[in-house]
Structure 1
Amino acid sequence: MILLDGKRTAADIKEEIALEVKQLKDKGGKTPHLAAVIVGSNGASITYVNAKVKACERVGFESTLIRLPEDISECELLNEIAILNVDHAIDGFIVQLPLPSHIDKQKVLMAVDPNKDVDGFHPTNVGKMALNLPTFISATPFGILELLERYKVETSGKHVVVLGRSHIVGSPMSILLSQKRKVGNATVTMCHSRTKNLKELTLQADIIIAAIGIPEFLKADMVKDNVTVIDVGITRLADSSKKSGFRLVGDVAFAEVAKKAEFITPVPGGVGPMTIAMLLKNTLLACKRKN
């Protein structure tokens, strides 16, 4: 069993980005600048955004954090986005999800300039991704592709089963892995809550992408020997034996599935760190395109 170490791979990618940023600066080029908008005081969102700011510092980016109150109106938030869209100093920006219930998430995401949409959520960028045109690929699927490529996991001709059909992970992964690309050319089955013969399908899979949002859902009796498993899920489970009072688990019952896997991602330390690394990579791309 080979562990797909997202933490180490993300660190390698950040070093590569930092070197490229230094070269840009040495040539008198613009320093990449990422902005993040966060609405309210969701603890997980604040932690995640702060990690992004620290990552920007590490690779030599400039960063801007815009914190807005929970009760901001939708109109006011859209105005903040409009300002970022025309700010030439900002190469890319993200609006951290989730948003308060009184704000239409889709309206907000569609308001972001596609050329600055480093999250890859705008319909223009999703459409380009689906057509295999140059664009921003959303950070989590982008990170999964990068992990598979760097660990030389063969995807061509393989049967991939994707558990989950979200617009953030499941749906784009099913499209990307079926495309004619270096990490692609697979036959993909996308499963979801209405799939009736789920276990039958996962037992056929050479590669499983688990993004279903149910802790430890994928068990050993659902996979064949030498399977590759990418675990996208992360859930806090109460655990009195831990100092924190909880433990983090993915959508895969890691201890039992790892015994049958050829490649597998851990939780934490697998896909999660790759997401921030690829967000930085998209921001660097946005800066280079603009200049």
Structure 2
Amino acid sequence: MLRSFWSGSSNLDEWIQQTLRDGFDGLEGPIPKTSEQRCKLREKLNEHRLVYVAEATTGVDGDATKDWWIPRREFTIQNHLDDLRWSVEHAVQLGAMFVSTMCGYDGWSWQQNVEFFGKALALEKEAGIAISFETHRSRSLFNPWITRDLLLEFPSMKLTCDFSHWCVVCERLIDTEWDVLELCAQRALHIHCRVGYAQHAQVSDPRAPEYTQALEAHEKWWDLIWRNQAQQCMSETTMTPEFLHDGYMQTLPFSQVPVANLGEIVCWMTQRQRQRFAKQYG
């Protein structure tokens, strides 16, 4: 179980302490921009024996003050590939388990997607570190069907499965697309265990009874991934309870006070999924 940078402190020392205090096995987050910051992160990971998943975000304006993670339409396939290469090269230096990336653009044509993912997979082979492509709104894998078609086109392509995004894009819990979920489970390397529903990519609080159906649906999808990973004899599986602020967490009008405690939710989800996994696999 990994602690997301986006649900913790932006200060590295505080983020590490939160990770250790709450019993996580490692970190998932963006690669620091400066060599000094990267050296410090590597030292902390080694000191505390924490694993690290490097997060890569392509085709964005990193200097934007708002919605910086949204891909810019004017950025080319080569811009996205350059961003991914930078992340991959530094992830190797940091000893990351793998790279999980929000990449591509939801407005690309089929041929543009084929060109990008073909070159991204060549980069993966060249660098010798796995790249896991996240199912995410505004990105190439923003819906189940384009994801299905790309997985069929590229048999070596691996996924970071965050199905919460598809729930809001499709405006329904996606049990209707079980054949796609089965294919995704066969390619899943990593899970973001946030719970979404038809109108939002994050329920306000997954502990609330009104979200029981959504929670149990997501857990059924994660169970499908675990079963496939077990059948493939994978020695380990990774999961990040990626509940966030930044518009994901609902707030009260005018005051903008969050309607639930994000830290409590992250820890509750972590313990729940650990218990579920232990019950099924020991």
- Could you state the TM-score of these two structures normalised by the residue count of structure 1? 0.35
Q: Higher helix fraction: Structure 1 or Structure 2?
A: 2
Q: Which has the higher contact order (CA 8 A, sep 6+)?
A: 1
Name the larger-Rg structure.
1
Q: Higher strand fraction: Structure 1 or Structure 2?
A: 1
